[in-house]
Chains A and B, each alone.
Chain A
Amino acid sequence: MREALFYLFGAGALFAGANVVFRRHAVPAAIWLVACFFFLAAEYLLLGFPFLAAIQVLIYVGAIMVLFLFVIMLLDLHGAQPVQAQARFAAGLALALVITALAAAAAAGGEALAEAQAPDMPALVEALFTTFLVPFEVTSLLLVAAIVGALTLGRSPDITPPKQRIRPGRDTIRMVGGAPPRDEAQAG
């Protein structure tokens, strides 16, 4: 039963992944990626990691993919996206890589999967705050660095001192490449 479900969700994940890769429109590709993450969360659950399955759905689908979709919509990426001219060569190369990996995986022979114990969360949390305490703290540093980096990169480049910019009741906030305030003053 467990094995059959594993194959079923695996086929679903592969189908969704193929749709991510071969779609030429950004929004459907993102939605298929969400589907792929859900299938993978089901695989984690079947392997006996309910906590990681929940994290997968919450963070990947709930945060990362929403960010992706937000950017796709913000940049108005409708229409077919261009693909590489040498796509056939690239695909061939990737296929060769995959066949090598598959052969290696098959040749290595499988180890038997241990039966899943009770919920994975207590063991995970205990390891997180003892053995992996230093990586955990480094991770929080990484997140802060990423937030500051994203803010710095995402800031609009034409920052002028606040006194010249803010005029009560007239200024609007534009997300991307808004017209400079001076033009608005002339137009209105």
Chain B
Amino acid sequence: MTDLVKDERQNKTGASSGPGGDPGASRHVQLRDADDVVLSVEDLVVEFGVGGGSTVHAVSGVSFDVRRGETLGLVGESGCGKSTTGRSIMQLPKPTSGSVRLHGDNLGGMPSGQMRRARRKLQMIFQDPISSLNPRRRIADIIAEPLRVWGSSPDARKAKVAETLEAVGLDPQLVADRRPHQFSGGQCQRISIARALVLEPEVLICDEPVSALDVSVQAQILNLLEEMKERYQLTMIFISHDLAVVRNISDRVAVMYLGKLCEIAPAVELFDRPRHHYSSLLLSSIPSADQDATTSAARLDRSGGEMPSPVSPPSGCRFRTRCPAATERCAVEEPLMRQVGDGHFVACHHPLEVAEVVASGAEGSVERSADGTPDGALRPVALEGV
């Protein structure tokens, strides 16, 4: 899973091999042609009309691929299009343009019957575990519903439900006949996970699955997702605004801003050496023991934290209105994805040098700490390794 760069040389650079063959194909530079790519998203565009002739550019040309067994983290601020990206992979709603391929089959071009069958392999978990379960149905029925739709026999359903409940750490005997309101948020999220897994999907899209949960319960769910990924050989897309959570669960992380991908890199690499100014801003915004770091994060951002409207996004690089390094070029020319390291891609005309990243104070949020404790870990030194 960590061997992500093996086939990098075969990427779809240039007009010759890129689908469509247009100059924009170099946006897909980070895509890989490897056989084990399960899900491939190319040039995904999602736009919503909002009346008065204006359009919300929610997702504007996002491309990425996900390998079998890989977890791709999708981070960004609210309104950056990360949830829309997740949903349009499920074709809910269908993207305005671009393609989503599952094992090479374009989901967008499928007739609805075929699409329904394909969707078995794609499942989703949502943020609010309680409202995503029907309060009037029993847990066993909620989890069995997908099986019923696909016509398995009552006995097979019962066995499968019990097995899945067991897998997510719930006792089928105690749980099956109850209803969602009898469970806590964490337990409801376990039930949601069971419902998503009961059809044995290949790809699990998690949209902020732990944001509504308390820290102690969040850790349980994150560990469970890792376990389920292992057990069911899942490929995951993990959407979250919580950077620490994403760093821990993802193999690779993609940073989104205003409908575009800024940077995509292996998780630890991205957090240690962000090259896009937006990634760096995000990371230095994580509260740290050292107030200087937070202060400098706030100063890095020239806009007071305001994201421009997705109705009329800035020309060129969409981050330029907040970027400390923006030049005239950024206003006229949209930066394309290019490789800056092993599996590390960035869409920026003036990417941060590794040394600069340190100087900008971003390092304060991940390494420095007033009392010498590794700040990010929050763990007291005395307890390390106990």
Q: Do A and B come from one complex?
A: no
Instruction: Report which B residues bind A (CB closer than 8 A).
Output: none
Q: Which residues of A contact B (CB under 8 A)?
A: none
